[in-house]
Amino acid sequence: MFELKGIYKEFKIGSFRDRRTVYALNDINLKIRDKEILGLVGESGSGKTTVARLIEKIYNPTAGEMKIDGVTIPYKMKKEELKGYRKHVQMIFQDPFSSLNPLHNIRYILSRPYKIHDLGRSDEIDELVTNQLEKIGLIPPEMYLEKLPYELSGGQRQRIGIARALAVKPKLVLADEPTSMLDVSIRLDIMNLILDLKEKENVSFLFITHDLAGARYVSDRIAIMYAGYMVEIGESDEIIDTPLHPYTELLKKAAPKPESGLVPEIIEENGGIPNLTEKITCCPFEPRCEKRMAICSQKIPELKSIGDGRLVRCFLY
């Protein structure tokens, strides 16, 4: 349904004299299928959010191609075209406290998508908003319509954010760490809501997170990112049960998993994250890898398919 092909993104930073380039994304290839939740996992600075912002067309890639339903998305779009495109691709933000305008009530916030995208006469909008509130589990809706964001809890606010994104019936929703600011007891509710909405509304999600267990819970497939590279993609259970890339293995080791005995695994790993302002000429994970070989410091491995839709970027395979 949605496809990223050979995407590169570079940012120019620094002052006039000291110009540098941040190589934020390198050779990203990713497909998001219909009615699929794709988990995008990686540490801070690995480029997860940049991927989401490219898809939302907040900025353009430096090179590469994006396709939706087989049609290439042009780099330059007129304002109206962009609006039409964003009707298909919506976003949910990490921080439910700052993503809703504190001065407007819920009725106004949720009526905006319908007005902007011309999806109903003004007398119909109220009903649409009410339906939308019911859909995301804020019942009875009348109780919430006149409230201002500060009167709602974090979980309720995140639900409003989700309702707003889904109002225009998008094909793809980009959820950038939608649960990381929420309390532990509410996180699951939001993840369950996303799972339910996928079924009911026929929508795909790109679920960005750094929590591997959470990604496994919601996603059909998981993509692991490291230093701007996609290092492994596959079915969720397979990624977790048999991680192939050493970085995925490390992530699995580091995640708490009391169910497999209460003795945590010891991590022996040193070496830093590559400097993103320099063009990498070897495997980005090489300095931290326990299984490094001579070839790893000589060139960048390709993202190879090893069957069953599993892709790995590592010389071991």
Considering beta carbons, is residue 81 or 237 the nearer one to another protein? Answer: 237
122 binds another protein (CB under 8 A): no
Q: Tokens in use for 187?
A: 């996180």
What residues contact residue 248 under an 8 Å CB cut-off, 6+ apart? 224, 231, 232, 239
80 binds another protein (CB under 8 A): no
Q: Pick from 189, 220, 235, 238: which binds another protein (CB under 8 A)?
A: 189
Least distance in angstroms from the C-beta of 199 to another protein:
12
Least distance in angstroms from the C-beta of 70 to another protein:
33
65 binds another protein (CB under 8 A): no
Q: Tokens in use for 18?
A: 């000291």
Report how far residue 114's alpha carbon sits from residue 121's, in angstroms, rounded to the nearest whole number. Answer: 9
Report how far residue 81's alpha carbon sits from residue 88's, in angstroms, rounded to the nearest whole number. Answer: 11
Report how far residue 294's alpha carbon sits from residue 304's, in angstroms, rounded to the nearest whole number. Answer: 19
184 binds another protein (CB under 8 A): yes
58 binds another protein (CB under 8 A): no
Q: Tokens in use for 231?
A: 């290092």
Residue type, 100: L
Binding mask 196-235 for another protein (x = CB under 8 A): --------------xxxxx-xx------------------
Report how far residue 281's alpha carbon sits from residue 26's, in angstroms, rounded to the nearest whole number. Answer: 12
> Which span sits near another protein by CB under 8 A: 13-21, 159-167, 252-260, 290-298?
252-260
Least distance in angstroms from the C-beta of 155 to another protein:
9
> Which span sits near another protein by CB under 8 A: 88-96, 137-145, 191-199, 289-297?
191-199
What residues contact residue 27 under an 8 Å CB cut-off, 6+ apart? 6, 7, 8, 229, 230, 303
